[in-house]
Amino acid sequence: MVASTADPALDGVARRAIRDVFPLYLPTVPFALVLGVAMTESAMPTNIAWSTNIVFAGAAQLAMVTLAGTATWLTLVMTAVVINLRHVMYSAAMAHHFRDQPRWFRWVGPFVLIDQLFALTARRSDLDPPLWRRYYLSAGLFLLVTWVIGVTVGIAVGSAIPTEWRLDIAPAVMFGGLVVLGLTTRPMALAALTGAAVCFAGLGIPNNGGVLLGATAGVIVGFLADKASDRTASDRSATDRYGGAA
Amino acid sequence: MTTAAAIAAIVVVALITYVSRAGLIVFLADRSIPADVTRALRYVGPAVMSALTVNLLAGGQGISGVTGQEVAAVAVGGLVAWRTKNLILSLAAGMVTIWIIILVT
């Protein structure tokens, strides 16, 4: 797919993409390993669990693999879909980068549009369309290939590590860390707290229904808190403007 | 869950995930989504991930499935993530916590 070219700018950009994506790639290594280990403990046969790689979304994959034993089909699918809803946001933010791209790339490119690639490429408006395409694909393919390798290594390692090491708890620790890293604003913290609290209260709901209930409640609370903080901010600036002198 | 059901679930999730990634790029490149929808989508991640963390702690056994040592591991992992902004350190701290608790008790 990546044809060799005489244009030195195009050749350089692939290397630069991989160098730039490296700091974002590093945290995916333990994630892939944890996922691989979880696959060996999943209710799904390991090779089927491995094929969740076609979803190429770590959190959703981990949810599917760990829920397989206890959730209904519908809860499992819904939970994974909800986790991946955030990609709609990325798709919206990236649409203008794809507008001047060839049709094949508009179809193929989104397949690898994961959090890390979005963070890396969304702001690269300095590259012209062919360079941007090469940059995006190089980083995206690098992330995809290393991800699948990491998961596969995790499966190999996972079946060798004794259960006393309690690697079964690693997915929960992983998710907890991801939540904390994602909290940049107060409404986000409120959304996360609500999601956790409502899910906890709803643990008795059959088929892991508490997850979707907690997610819904968390989104509503985060959304409302966001709206409220907008209002407070505009009130404050109004006070600054009109009452600041007093 | 049967193998066929698992495969069907993976295919359905893969398709919907692709559509959520590609939708606005391939099909609606010139349209934008309402600001309120974007605003709500921002909170999907934190809300569903924290709910999943709690659910994983319960391990499908309801509230009785939540054990002190597991909560401690997740709490330490969360604290380290908050202080260091580093996922690898967070995971390591959480796992070391549970190993220490198991060794001591």
Contacts of B1 in chain A (CB under 8 A): 43-44, 68-69, 73, 76
Q: Which residue has the higher pLDDT, A10 or A41?
A: A41
- What long-range pairs does B71-76 form, CB within 8 A, spacing at least 24? B72/B97, B72/B98, B72/B101, B73/A169, B73/A172, B73/A173, B73/B97, B73/B98, B73/B101, B74/A169, B74/A172, B74/A173, B74/A176, B75/A176
Does the pLDDT of residue A176 top 80, yes or no?
A: yes
Q: In this predicted model, which residue has the larger pLDDT, A9 or B2?
A: B2
How far, CA to CA in Å, does B58 sit from each of A122, A165, B30?
Answer: 37, 19, 45
Where is B88: in which H helix or E strand? helix B87-104
Q: Check pLDDT > 80 for residue B31.
A: no
Q: Return the domain boundaries, chain A.
A: 27-230
| Share above pLDDT 70 across residues of chain B, in percent, rounded to a whole number | 95
- Model confidence, pTM: 0.81
Closest CA to A152 of A62, A227, A46: A46
Chain-wide mean pLDDT for chain A?
A: 87
Give the separation between CA A33 and CA A37, rounded to whole angstroms: 6
- Backbone phi and psi for residue B72, each to the nearest 5 degrees, phi listed first: -60, -45
- Flag the least confident range among B17-21, B58-62, B66-70, B85-89: B58-62
Q: In this predicted model, what pLDDT tens digit does every residue of B42-52 receive, in sequence order?
A: 898 889 889 98
Q: Shortest Cα distance from A243 to chain B (angstroms)?
A: 30
Q: pLDDT band for A6, please (50, 70, 90 cuts).
A: low
The tokens 């046969």 sit on which residue?
A45
In tens, the pLDDT along A89-104 reads 888 888 888 988 999 9
Determine, for residues B25 and A95 on separate chains, whether the beta-carbon distance falls below 8 Å.
Answer: yes
Q: Under 8 Å CB-to-CB from A51, ≥6 apart: which residues?
A: B7, B10
pLDDT, one tens digit per residue, over A198-238 is 999 999 887 778 888 999 999 999 999 999 988 877 666 55
| Rounded Cα distance, A95 and A11, in Å | 25
User: Which of A70, A95, A182 lies nearest to residue B29, judging by beta carbons?
Assistant: A95
Whether B17 and A81 lie within 8 Å, measured CB to CB: yes
The residue with greater pLDDT, B28 or A80, is: A80
What is the structure's pLDDT at A238?
A: 53
Q: In Å, how far is A85's CA from the nearest CA of chain B?
A: 7
Could you give the 3-state DSSP secondary structure of residue A167? helix
Nearest residue, CB atoms, B32 vs list A73, A76, A92: A92
Mean pLDDT of A125-154: 95
Q: Name chain A contacts of B95, Cβ cutoff 8 Å.
A: 166-167, 169-170, 173
* pLDDT score at B29: 60
- Give CA–CA dist A190/B45, Å, rounded: 12
A97 by Cβ neighbours in 10 Å (0-12 / 13-18 / 19+) ranks as buried
Confidence of residue A163 (pLDDT cuts 50, 70, 90): confident
- The per-residue DSSP string of A44-59 comes to S-HHHHHGGGGT--HH
Check: CB of residue A203 under 8 Å from CB of residue A214. Answer: no
Q: Which of B10, B24, B44 sits opposite A55 (nearest CB)?
A: B10
Confidence of residue A45 (pLDDT cuts 50, 70, 90): very high
Residue B24 CB partners (closer than 8 Å, separation 6+): A88, A91, A92, A94, A95, B31, B33
CA distance A204 to A110: 38
Minimum mean pLDDT range among A186-200, B31-45, B70-84: B31-45
pLDDT on residue A78: 92
